[in-house]
Amino acid sequence: IDAIRFVNLVPGISGSGAHTGNDVVLCEAPNGQLGYDGTTPSLSYFPKGTGNQYIYTAGPWVGGIAASGIPIVAEASHASEFVPSQIANTGQPFRVFNSSIPMDKKAWPPEFSSASGKPIIVSGAENLVVQYNDLYGTPLRTVHQPLGIEIRQRSLAYGDTSKRSALIFFWEVKNVSAGPINNAYFAFWGDVDI
């Protein structure tokens, strides 16, 4: 198990990336928000090139009862309680890495690489990866304590005929708090406009 490291600041939304590898265009921010880059919401289009925007913003929600007995939800909605985690031991906050961009592929983060340092990239797909946590974010509700989770997010866009209208997301949720999180649930929230 690798060591978990965090950035104790809110570096903003800089470092957003976008899927453009198939018929779906979707912005991803390093704080877990989808369809939003911190300035302009609704950065999602389907089919690509039409200007049809169906997602205002979206993101993961994780809830549970912390070791203190307090129910807490860490969320990315119109704002986000998440901040980018630190990349390995570099001191740099995570940004969204895109395998279709040669410079990103060359600088692929170790968190998404094999033990030998080779990037773990699903062939035949545009891979986007980012990692974020709720330890230092700004709470959106009245409970002013983090749940203590870190999320590794990978998303894939395929250009082939059968999958060209879909994005596939994988979220690995890790408890990085000092104690157990009981009755934990994962949900995906979206402000969709259809």
Q: Read off φ and ψ for residue 75, nearest 5 degrees.
A: -140, 155
Which residues have C-beta within 8 Å of that of residue 118, sequence separation ≥ 6? none
Convert the pLDDT of each residue in 105-163 to its tens digit: 999 999 999 999 899 999 999 999 999 999 988 888 777 789 999 999 999 999 888 88
Mean pLDDT (whole number) for 10-15: 54
Q: What percent of the chain has a predicted confidence (pLDDT) above 90?
A: 63
| Cβ contacts of 46 within 8 Å, gap of 6 or more | 23, 24, 25, 52, 54, 165
Q: Is the pLDDT score of 183 beyond 90?
A: yes
- Please give the share of the chain, as a percent, with pLDDT higher than 70: 93
Mean pLDDT of the chain: 88
165-190: average pLDDT: 94
H-helix or E-strand containing 174?
A: strand 167-175
> Average pLDDT of 79-106?
93
pLDDT of residue 13: 57
Q: How many other CB atoms sit within 10 Å of the CB of residue 35?
A: 26
**Which of these ranges, 1-5, 62-66, 126-130, has the smallest mean pLDDT?**
1-5
Is the pLDDT assigned to residue 171 strictly greater than 50? yes
Dihedral angle of Cα 81, 140, 11, 153, to the nearest 10 degrees: 20
Over residues 4-22, the mean pLDDT reads 64
Amino acid at site 98: N
pTM over 0.85, yes/no: yes
Res 37: pLDDT: 84
Q: Which residues, including other chains, have CB under 8 Å from residue 194's CB and lie 6 or more apart?
A: 54
pLDDT of residue 4: 47
Q: What is the pLDDT of residue 159?
A: 86
pLDDT, residue 7, reads 44
